[in-house]
Chain A
Amino acid sequence: MVNHTMSTPTTSSNTQKLIIVGNGMVGHHFAEQLVESGALAGFEVTIFGEERHRAYDRVHLSEYFSGRDAESLALCDGDYYHTHGIQLRSGEAVTAIDREQQLVVTEQGHYAYDQLVLATGSFPFVPPIPGNDSKGCLVYRTLDDLDAIQAAAKNATNGVVVGGGLLGLEAANALRGLNLDTAVVEFAPRLMPMQVDSEGGELLKEKIEALGVQVLTERATQRIEPGDNSRLRMVFQDDKVLETDLIVFSAGIRPQDTLARECGLTIGERGGVVIDDQCRTNVPNILAIGEVALWNQSIFGLVAPGYQMAKTAVATLTGGDICFSGADMSTKLKLLGVDVGSIGDAHGNQNPGARMFRYLDPLTQVYRKLVVTSDGKKLLGAMLVGDNSVYDTLLQYYANGIELPKEPASLILPQQSGAAPALGPDALPETAMICSCHNVTKGSICSAIDAGAADLGSVKGATKASTGCGGCAALLKSVVDHELEARGVEVDKSICEHFAHTRQGLYDIVRVEGIKTFSELMEKHGNAETHRLGCDICKPAVASILASCFNEPITDAAHVPLQDTNHTFMANMQKNATYSVGQRIAGGEITPDKLVVLGQVAQKYQLYTKIAGGQRIDLFGARLEDLPAIWGELIDAGFETGHAYGKSLRTVKSCVGSTWCRYGVQDSVGVAIQLENRYKGLRAPHKIKFGVSGCTRECAEAQSKDIGIIATENGWNLYVCGNGDMRPRHAELFATDLDDEQLYRPIDRFLMFYVRTADRLQRTSVWRENLEGGLDYPKEGILGRKPGYQR
């Protein structure tokens, strides 16, 4: 816990009116930093957002097309601002700033400010091509833009993106996701001219063309006119033409500085509000942050520098002394599935005398380039295409000025050629930036650990590291593990004192050696020095593993003493030693006859009845000696246990689906029942919950389940690793548009992978957060590159 110092009581007379113009990522971050600084009490804060949505994650915008909605992309809970007494006025564009009277003007009214923060961001640059305003010409920046693209794509078979930079390739990916034949048109001789050189660009082009996206470089569009076969026709400099149904301009961004310009703030030659190191404009009570701000002649089009400006601006307003001192523009991206990395002076044209190393593998299509000082001691920049695995290491050499190995080339050569090992966490200085989204250094991670954070999860919670783009997850884990070990916190992965193995280790042993009883496992792999009876940690865990692998009846004498009382009696012990009985009511569907039986049983044995969270009816207060009779009657009526006690499938929650609901597009109940019957009894590291929704209204709350299935017009979208418990987590999209048949296979495989590799009592959500390589790892194995599962 952080110690909170008492904030000075403020009266309304000394609170300042603070207005934030812009509710994008940086504007939101500013508000968040202000809240966290504890200085909120000194301000009466109003935020104006031009868009109707509250701040959302623009970095992951393209996921909107693969099933995420505005709510799941939102950067905070719906009541966040309200809770903190901040007024958010979404959908209310600021039309003017009156500096004289210190007023912000919108169509709805005038608002006074004492301090003003401009976080208006940028707008997409649309090249001045005649016809660029034709119907079907769109941009890619906001959720509304995406809606427009989606609407236009409905009647389209193909689409062109103008601009082959980072955003252009993102947009191309989005068009591809909408099932359009896609082409990218770039004015420069190569893709991503800012990040890669001609060799890298060539490789990138090959890789992207291999994905079915056409790439046209050195193409300047002269005009856009109505097409013969498609809606539009693009005419190029050599009178070549390209017909297409829609065009997305993604040729860079320009600072949204109109308001600032009109109220007379100092603007850079090529746009942008000029700011100093404190993020102040030339007017002391107006600050600017993010993509609208011009610092030292530079606009920073990445989120991390924007966040740093936000932090700086908060300090400026609250008397802190943080300076914005520029930002490292190194980036690591995965565009259309292709890794691209760029560090520092990647082109080697900012440092006279720089020397370069290049490695090109045309077979695996990997290109790496190092830019080093003339003495070969320091890394000035690097460029990666096709494989970002060495990015983290190179970035640390670059950012911390670590001396390069004697043969710098070893850093980019394949492993068998004697490449230098990755830079271990040990070699990083305290100042090494681990998470640039949240500005977390190795030093702050160490402080968090010294303050009591004893595992990866707590470090993340305390520092926010790796909760932004997540690109640093692997690095963070290695730093945390290393630091814990260095402090003598033995990162002991033993499940308990009886076995020096993790759950996964025990699982593998059981499976490989075909061990079928706890005693045999103890005999062969237990810790000899202990008494060898096991304990309440390892016994249920091993019972679960044995059940997962061999599924023998748990009533077998060898298995009985391993189980919790709940398993033994197929009911949940309650605090007064009575039990609750939960039956399986697959998909929440139950007949009137069965309802009658439940009522009769409850009356007869004087049981309290409650509709439980999982769409079934629990009977509470059953005495142990009555359980056999209760189960006898229930089984006669066709019931079976609902495993309400099991580390196994609990329930598959479903909405009523297309059979009854006017919005339903698929039979959610039918699928829920099939799924529940398919996976019931599957023993797992922890409980598993499913949800199936029959349309995007998501009434079954599938995105808060371990496995969530949401109907689309074309089939089902599959989500995984959600959680609704103590620490809610949205499930992530795993595969799209599966038909009923295709649904089972990825779930089968996903559950197998989870059952085999998760820790004891680790829900899929936590398991996923600890999964190295993130969800891509199981995705590759489970979905492969087979068409049909995921585009």
Chain B
Amino acid sequence: MTATVLKLTNRNDTWQPLCTRADLVPFSGVAAWLNTPEGPAQVALFYLPGHAQELYALDHFDPFSKAYVIARGIVGDIKGSPVVASPLYKQHFRLEDGQCLEEDEVQLRNWRVAFKGDEVWVEG
């Protein structure tokens, strides 16, 4: 059994502002830089105004094409779950957890994301 180093962090400290509501494209995606403990990441932000969950943040990196393109995909829903389709090879990724619908073992990184007023905050 290996020892686990417990590190106490303040939850709110990891949330960071990324952009504002005006930077988003309704029912579509935009890409943004996010600082994470592992280094900077490209995040794809999706905005579904009027829906129960309005904001989603997935990795902008498409593991199939190995290119940063996820934010430029078409947003939709398949069997009730909001998804984005990769603009290159058209695989679908579930917005809520990044799960690929075509390949079980592929899942995109995803972050918690919320509005604070008109600002978009992501837990990095």
Contacts and interface: CB of A to CB of B under 8 A. Distances in A.
A573 B87 contact: yes
Interface residues of A, number: 25
A44 interface: no
A564 B28 CA distance: 10
A561 B27 contact: yes
Given A560-B25, A561-B25, A577-B68, A535 B76 contact: yes
Interface stretch (B5-13, B15-23, B32-40, B77-85): B77-85
Contacts of B78: 497, 535
Contacts of A534: 76-77
Contacts of A535: 74, 76-78, 83, 85
B65 interface: yes
A575 B81 CA distance: 27
B98 interface: no
A201 B92 CA distance: 65
Contacts of B72: 565, 568, 573
B114 interface: no
A536 interface: yes
B48 A533 contact: yes
Contact of B74 (A531, A532, A536, A576): A536
Interface string B25-64: 1111000000000000000000010000000000000000
B113 interface: no
Contacts of B88: 573, 575
Contacts of A358: none
- Point out which of A534, A535, A566 has the most chain B C-beta atoms below 10 A from its C-beta: A535
DSSP class of A's interface residues: helix, strand, loop or mixed?
loop
Interface in A685-741: none
Contacts of B77: 530-535
B75 interface: yes
Interface in A564-609: 564-566, 568, 573, 575-577
A334 interface: no
A539 interface: yes
A540 B74 contact: yes
Nearest to B82: A533
Contacts of A561: 25-28, 74-75
A357 to B, nearest CB: 57
B67 interface: yes
Interface in A84-127: none
A575 B65 contact: yes
A533 B65 contact: no
A557 interface: yes
- Point out which of B28, B69, B74 has the most chain A C-beta atoms below 10 A from its C-beta: B74
A498 B28 CA distance: 18
B67 A533 contact: no
Interface string A486-502: 00000000000110000
A566 B76 CA distance: 17
Contacts of B25: 560-561
B90 interface: yes
Nearest to B89: A575
A539 B69 contact: no
Contacts of A530: 77, 79-80
B85 to A, nearest CB: 4
A568 B75 CA distance: 14
B64 to A, nearest CB: 10
Contacts of A576: 67
A564 B81 contact: no
A533 B87 contact: no
Given A540-B74, A561-B75, A565-B72, A531 B67 contact: no
A186 B69 CA distance: 74
Given A531-B82, A533-B27, A561-B25, A573 B76 contact: no
B60 to A, nearest CB: 9
Interface string A517-560: 00000000000001111111011100000000000000001001
Contacts of B65: 575, 577
Contacts of B79: 497, 530
Contacts of A497: 78-79
Nearest to B84: A536
Nearest to A576: B67
A468 to B, nearest CB: 38
Contacts of B69: 565, 573, 577
B61 to A, nearest CB: 10
A287 B80 CA distance: 67
A522 to B, nearest CB: 11
A536 B75 CA distance: 7
A626 to B, nearest CB: 15
A21 B79 CA distance: 63
B81 A536 contact: no
A660 B89 CA distance: 45
Nearest to B61: A577
Nearest to B78: A535
A483 to B, nearest CB: 29
B87 A564 contact: yes
Interface string B80-109: 111101011010100000000000000000
Interface of A: 497-498, 530-536, 538-540, 557, 560-566, 568, 573, 575-577
23 contacts: A530-B79, A533-B76, A534-B76, A534-B77, A535-B76, A535-B83, A535-B85, A536-B73, A536-B74, A538-B76, A539-B74, A540-B74, A561-B25, A561-B74, A564-B74, A564-B87, A565-B69, A565-B73, A566-B87, A568-B72, A573-B72, A573-B88, A577-B68
Interface of B: 25-28, 48, 65, 67-69, 72-83, 85, 87-88, 90, 92
Given A563-B74, A573-B88, A576-B67, 6 more contacts: A530-B80, A531-B80, A532-B77, A533-B76, A561-B75, A568-B72
**Can you list the 6 inter-chain pairs with the closest CB atoms, starting with the nearest?**
A535-B76, A531-B77, A561-B27, A536-B85, A577-B67, A565-B72
